Structure 1
Amino acid sequence: MTARPAARAWLALFVLFAVADTVLAAVDLRTDVGAVRWATKPLLMPLLAAYVVAAAGGFRGLALPLTALAGGFVGDVGLLPDRDGLFMVGMAGFAVGHTAYIRAFALRGAGARIAANRRIPLGYAAAWAVMIAVLWRGLDDLLVPVIGYSLLLTAMAAFAAGMDRRTAIGGALFLLSDTVIACGIADLDLVPGQDAVVMPTYLAAQFLLMTTWTRAPVLVREPEAAADPGSAAAF
């Protein structure tokens, strides 16, 4: 199977499992079917990773995005059981993923672009401040970890906005998805059925963030991109 049909096949599988897990997550809000999601949720990031590798034509230059998806896998599995200890493991996994995204986008010049357009970091900083102001009373023992994690997530979203429109939307959706999770932790219902938006926004976010590497084959390794200023502008 050539790279392009293989990429389409992996993408179709990812979409199939994404829809299935989204439906199961929505049903789980009303009934006890959470155990069924062990057959869908842990496969989401591996399927997306397989699509990325096939679309990019191989593993070259994909260390950081695949690390981001590996962090997402740890986060997905850690958040499946309703246990505080595993929740912290899941948060740590997502934190690793955000760090990898920030590094990858920085190597492609996102830092310079958001520095030149101060509305991006200022806007995200304001959004973070509002989020913490709304949630902090209900977070209790998780206040400090959530503050640290949310700062990293917000930074990732800002760096994503320094790439292009698709990655900007992906970063914003990731921030929205995790904000809804934080609202649930703080027992804060902003809109009816808000928990049902977590999975679709999260999965759309991961897919859109990965378009940096799936739109065209990766031609350079990450360090080479950093060493050649012109290479960052090409993405």
Structure 2
Amino acid sequence: MRARALLAAYLMLGVADSVLAAAEVDGARWVTKPLLMPVLIAFVWVAARPGAEHDLRLPIGALVGGFVGDVGLLVDREATFLVGMAGFAVGHVCYLLAFRRMGITLSPWLPAGYLLAWGVMMAAVCGGLGDLLVPVLGYSLLLTAMAVCAAGVGRRTGLGGALFLGSDAVIALGLADVGLFPGQAALVMPTYVAGQLLLALTWASRPLPGRHADAAADPRSTAASG
């Protein structure tokens, strides 16, 4: 029950923050956005598969990095933006290490496809990034690597990585003043909230009543628990 309550709280916060972001109500977002990752961390801890607690350090580290990123991007200054981007970068490294520990299986076309998409996006935004060009190039390549490796873990995890990548791609378009369609900025938070949740569910029981869910629901949970 605790896991379901925390999941519901995360989803409600995500919807609220997405609406506030779309309406450009920045003040109230200092309540909703910083709460997202702490609630998701609590959910991951409570909903962890039996025996998987020792595997939670890296995903929780990734979500802590997400918290730093969330707060950093709330302030409209380049310095805090860079701090936020660094927080997300640490989170992606944590995800990459966690995925490596779980095992990654990839077909050759998938990294090639993601790299092509990365190149197209960078070509679209590089002219408008100014001093942020180099850090955005490095960060976006790290994020793309995370998304690729997430796809090598499982479909749900891969979708989470793709949504996270899509969210940050929209942010990059905004930084470069590239408008592909009206209201594109409203996509940032819904895709981010969904992406982080799908990534976090990689370490959760199936179904999600709490720590006592049947570990046999996921064959990999048995291996993870030793």
Give the TM-score of the pair, scaled to structure 2: 0.89
Amino acid at match of 1:37: R
Say yes or no: does 1:202 pair with 2:187: no
Q: Which residue of 1 aligns with 2:170?
A: 180
Distance in 2 separating the partners of 1:215 and 1:26: 33
Which structure 1 segments of 5+ residues have no match?
A: 219-229
1:59 Cα deviation after fit: 4.2
1:16 Cα deviation after fit: 1.3
Say yes or no: does 1:38 pair with 2:34: no
Distance in 1 separating the partners of 2:172 and 2:75: 16
Query: Deviation per CA, 1:39-63, whole angstroms, max 9, x where unpaired?
Result: 1100000000101100016843200
Which structure 2 segments of 5+ residues have no match?
A: 213-221
Q: How many residues align?
A: 210
The answer (yes or no) to whether the contact 1:52–1:214 under 8 Å persists in 2 is: yes
Say yes or no: does 1:130 pair with 2:120: yes
Question: How do 1:204-219 residues align onto structure 2 when only pairs under 5 Å count?
Answer: 204-216=194-206
Question: Secondary structure in 2 aligned to 1:43?
Answer: helix
Question: How do 1:217-228 residues align onto structure 2 when only pairs under 5 Å count?
Answer: none
| CA RMSD in angstroms, aligned pairs only | 1.7
Distance in 1 separating the partners of 2:55 and 2:120: 37
Q: Which residue of 2 aligns with 1:88?
A: 82
Question: How do 1:32-111 residues align onto structure 2 when only pairs under 5 Å count?
Answer: 33-56=25-48, 59-110=53-104
Distance in 2 separating the partners of 1:189 and 1:141: 20
Amino acid at match of 1:20: A
Pick aligned residue for 1:163 from 131, 150, 153:
153
Query: Deviation per CA, 1:210-229, whole angstroms, max 9, x where unpaired?
Result: 111013569xxxxxxxxxxx
Q: Which residue of 1 aligns with 2:16?
A: 20
Q: Which residue of 1 aligns with 2:216?
A: none
1:134 Cα deviation after fit: 1.0
The answer (yes or no) to whether the contact 1:161–1:169 under 8 Å persists in 2 is: yes
Divergent runs of 4+, >4 A: none
Pick aligned residue for 1:191 from 181, 185, 189:
181
Query: Deviation per CA, 1:10-69, whole angstroms, max 9, x where unpaired?
Result: 1111111111111101110xxxx2111101100000000101100016843200000000
Query: Deviation per CA, 1:159-188, whole angstroms, max 9, x where unpaired?
Result: 000011111111111111000000000000
Q: Which residue of 1 aligns with 2:218?
A: none
Query: Whose RCO is larger (CA < 8 A, sep 6+)?
Result: 2
